[in-house]
Chain A
Amino acid sequence: MKFSDFVATDAIRSHVDAGTKEGVIREMTQSLVNAGSIAAADYESIVKAIMKREDLGSTGIGRGVAVPHTKHPSVSRLVGTVAVSHSGVDFESLDGEPVQLFFLLVSPPDRPGDHLRALENISRQLRDETFCRQLKSAKGPVDIQHLLEEADSHGVAS
């Protein structure tokens, strides 16, 4: 699976304002609403579901990366977006590092395989430290979009 298969380009944020976990999740979910990927009526329910998932254990997976996510019956395909926080946000990650890079995913309840493959793609690409660093220093959403496209074209689907 590639980034272009699930990242809503119009919802990419290069500068999140929020300084808390919930704040970032709200900003990113709102971006998905604005981009037309999810319905405004589902906003609150999706935010709550993502927060509930965070309560079970942080999705901060290390190296300044978090993948907040949930299943939600309102989506018929996996949708997601990317955001960068320049100051970093405390996400209770395993390695204790503040998170600067966020990949938020909302998937249909009956597609666990797609969700796993999106996580696989994200984690595989982020093993490349240069890619991580470039994403974190992106000046605008278009830069992020280009970095994701470049990663997609290099990455051999596994």
Chain B
Amino acid sequence: MGSQEDMVSREVVVGMPQGLHARPADQLAREARKWQSRIELLNDTQRVDGKSILEVLTLAAEAGTRLIVEATGPDAHEALEAIGVLFDRNFNEQENTEGR
């Protein structure tokens, strides 16, 4: 393709009291899959594919965890912005709606 590969990253904080559990992981992977760029999440020990719920769940990121989101590809800036917004809005998880 010959298009320039941009790499951008930012820190995010898991703000949901329940942590980065299945539902936000699903939202994250769905958003990440909308973009051409490679989206990766990093904690202190792991680097995982943001387009895979399975991978995201292996982070077991509890409330308060800091993660780095890294986007690499032609639409890296827009992708990072979109993923960042999910974290900034706590995946729209204001109240505890999970379960009962």
Is the pair B22, A112 in contact by a Cβ cutoff of 8 Å?
no
How large, as a class, is the contact surface on chain A? 20 to 34
CB pair A119–B26 under 8 Å, yes or no, is no
Who on chain A is nearest to B98 by CB?
Answer: A53
Q: Is B75 an interface residue (CB 8 A)?
A: no
- Smallest beta-carbon distance B7→chain A, Å: 25
Chain A positions within 8 Å of B53 at CB level: 61-62, 94, 123
In the bound complex, CA of A40 to CA of B27 (Å): 34
Tell me the dominant secondary structure on chain B's binding face. loop
Task: Kindly report which residue of chain A lies nearest to residue B23, judged by CB atoms.
Answer: A57
A123 touches B27 (CB 8 A): no
A127 touches B57 (CB 8 A): no
> What 0/1 pattern do residues 45 to 73 of A give for CB contact below 8 A with B?
10001001100111101110101011111
Contact with B along A121-132 (1 / 0, CB 8 A): 011101100000
**Chain A residues, Cβ within 8 Å of B22:** 57, 59, 61, 67, 69, 119
> B2 in the interface, Cβ–Cβ < 8 Å?
no
Residues of the B chain whose Cβ atoms lie less than 8 Å from the Cβ of A153 = none
A26 within 8 A of B: no
* List of A residues within 8 angstroms of B18 by Cβ: 112, 115-116
Listed from nearest, the 5 A-B pairs whose CB atoms lie closest are: A120-B60, A71-B99, A123-B57, A70-B99, A61-B53
A sample of 11 cross-chain residue pairs with beta-carbon separation below 8 angstroms, ordered by A number, consists of A52-B99, A56-B23, A57-B23, A58-B26, A112-B63, A115-B21, A116-B19, A116-B60, A119-B57, A120-B60, A124-B58
Given A45-B100, A69-B99, output 18 extra A-B contacts at Cβ < 8 Å.
A52-B100, A53-B99, A61-B22, A61-B54, A62-B54, A69-B22, A94-B26, A112-B62, A115-B18, A116-B18, A116-B19, A120-B57, A120-B58, A120-B59, A122-B57, A123-B55, A123-B57, A127-B58
